[in-house]
């Protein structure tokens, strides 16, 4: 057993080491499939620049998850870093969508079309819940790191 394999074995349960390539492949394939569906939907209805951002982030996450699956199958411990990088693109995408929403809100306010924009936005609150949850978890993570300066992870 090489030092990389023993390091990976010591840090994670055996069942996880057997299933993580499958899970990583499923996440990568699902993300690529979803990005293709997003792109196809945008191509039929007109390509909006802010919708393309979500498709690019999802495709990037899918590619990184598939690369992590290959690294896991090769027995490399670097697969964990690549998988974490791919999964970290999802909250970044959601934060980008939240910033785009705020920018579009300011533009609607300046153009005098704020009332229809906010009515359309708040007619379905499910569109806001995921970015709110991501912002809350990000703030909790930052506050947790500041309160525990000796914890290095």
pLDDT of residue 5: 47
pLDDT band at 6 (very low <50, low <70, confident <90, very high): very low
Task: Please return the burial class of 44, using the count of CB atoms within 10 Å of its CB with bins 0-12, 13-18 and 19+.
Answer: exposed
Question: What are the tens digits of pLDDT across the range 136-152?
Answer: 676 666 666 666 655 55
pLDDT band at 67 (very low <50, low <70, confident <90, very high): very high
Confirm if 28 and 69 have CB atoms less than 8 A apart.
yes
pLDDT at 9 over 50: no
Q: Between the CA of residue 145 and those of 21, 90, 139, 142, 149, what are the distances in Å?
A: 30, 21, 10, 5, 6
Q: What percent of the chain has pLDDT over 70?
A: 67
Question: What are the tens digits of pLDDT across the range 68-115?
Answer: 999 989 888 888 889 888 888 888 888 888 888 888 878 888 888 777
Q: What backbone torsions phi and psi does residue 45 show, to the nearest 5 degrees?
A: -100, 0
pLDDT of residue 132: 66
The count of other CB atoms within 10 Å of the CB of residue 20 is: 19
């Amino acid at each position: 057993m090489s030092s990389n394999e023993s390091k990976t074995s010591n840090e994670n349960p055996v069942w996880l080491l057997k299933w993580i390539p499958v899970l990583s492949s499923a996440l990568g394939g699902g993300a690529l499939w979803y990005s293709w569906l997003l792109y196809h939907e945008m191509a039929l209805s007109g390509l909006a620049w802010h919708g393309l951002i979500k498709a690019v982030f999802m495709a990037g996450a899918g590619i990184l998850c598939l690369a992590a699956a290959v690294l896991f199958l090769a027995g490399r411990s670097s697969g964990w870093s690549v998988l974490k990088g791919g999964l970290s693109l999802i909250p970044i995408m959601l934060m980008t969508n939240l910033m785009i929403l705020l920018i579009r809100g300011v533009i609607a306010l300046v153009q005098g079309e704020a009332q229809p924009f906010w009515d359309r936005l708040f007619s379905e609150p499910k569109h806001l819940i995921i970015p709110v949850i991501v912002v809350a978890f990000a703030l909790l993570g930052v506050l947790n790191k500041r309160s525990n300066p000796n914890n290095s992870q």
